[in-house]
Structure 1
Amino acid sequence: MQLTAAPNPTEVRSIELPWGVCRYILKRSKRRSVGFLIGDQGLQISAPLRLPITELNDIIATKSSWIEQRLKQWEVRCKQTISLSSLLDEGKPIPVRGEPYHLETLPPRCKAMLNPWTKSIALPACESTLQRDKAIEKVLKAHAKEVFTHMATKLLERQPAAQRLPSFSIHLSSPGSRWGSCNSKREVRLNWRLVHYPPQLIEYVIAHELAHLVEMNHSVRFWAVVESLMPDYHTPHKALSKMNPAEVPVL
């Protein structure tokens, strides 16, 4: 009896589409449908473990126009993006909540930490640039989760008891074109790179997504909920509408 090897959970593949060769990262998992995402590394496709590659190619072909358009947008964002590696290599500070944070080196085996009092990110000596970047991302994500959770709690305290929002959970995400999202499971997902921005902008995104817990639209009622959470939301709303997630440093 011949055994068939299990498909590689993650692999880089390419497919010929009407507009040219498309390179993508394929991730296999125990899911039932095919998902498409334009992330930091370009096109990422999630597919069921047992879906034949021929069927997957047919599905990808039906999304050809969408993929072409989104990849062009991704390429433009990449050209506009400042990498954290570049900032660090040039000795420039990292923006954290709108303020410049400098990198400090700790002795080996010390725990990495972000210090809001000294405005610094301290890391143990790293063997490579990649190791350094991953360590900084881990520190920034931990800080983002803490900051976002605290801000969400403070925003809720502004609401009258009769208008309290339902319970929810905060999650981090790193999409290329969204600041945040909210689903029917009451999962509020926030782009962790918001941690680079001033507090008022972060609070607005959180208030916006919290309002979606009760109004999954952008109706008059939705904006009334946003205003109840953040009365001065108009200023950050206008500021953020002129930006996009590609304007903050990425790894």
Structure 2
Amino acid sequence: MLVPRHADDALSTRRFQSSLRTMLLAVTCVALGVAFGFAIVVLIAAALGVVYSIRRRRADWAIGIVVGLAVITSTGVGSSVQVRLDTGDQRVCYWGIPAYYRLMPPEVRRTLASLEDEEAPNRWVWCATQVGSNNADAMVHRFYRCAAVWVSEDREVAKLIVRDLADYLRKTHATQGLPDCSPMLWPDVVEVGEDFADGTVVVGWASMPEVQRYLAAKGRTPQD
């Protein structure tokens, strides 16, 4: 049986359109994954599942997908924290989408941003939240707050510290170890209030052995 030419053309057109839609969906998923992290693919899959269920007139499927995703999210699955490398601001994301921010105090943010160091760019990276008994994101927040105290004491040392923090987050995402600059941020070197509202570098810091070792490793001396 011969198939009319126009029917064959229509079938080819439908196949082409289907392939084009699939390609556009794949490109969109990759673009969103790059922008927000590939955890967002789960959210996209859930959305597609809901759309498919509605088109099949299966409201129970759609409700099940939404409820299931909500239950999973409520347990903490799909949540993550990202840190801005230059200022230490944090944002909490669900399935890769920023939900709310934990911003540094405005003065602290301006102080850190004023360093304008290319090695600590305005870029967000993923940060661990819990490593054993350590709240890694809270630790990183404190480190950046203490780094800001150094700006008024020694701007170049502050740059070294923020660079180390950025490098630490890029390489380990705070999942292991400590940044190289951690000796410069301990309470016996930098004193800050409980709310981090103010802080000072202790008098005589230049003569402290841990400070001298850190600066020597960076090719500097406290007198630089």
State the TM-score, normalizing by the size of structure 1: 0.23
| Richer in helix (by share) | 2
Larger relative contact order (CA 8 Å, sep ≥ 6) = 1
Larger radius of gyration between Structure 1 and Structure 2? 2
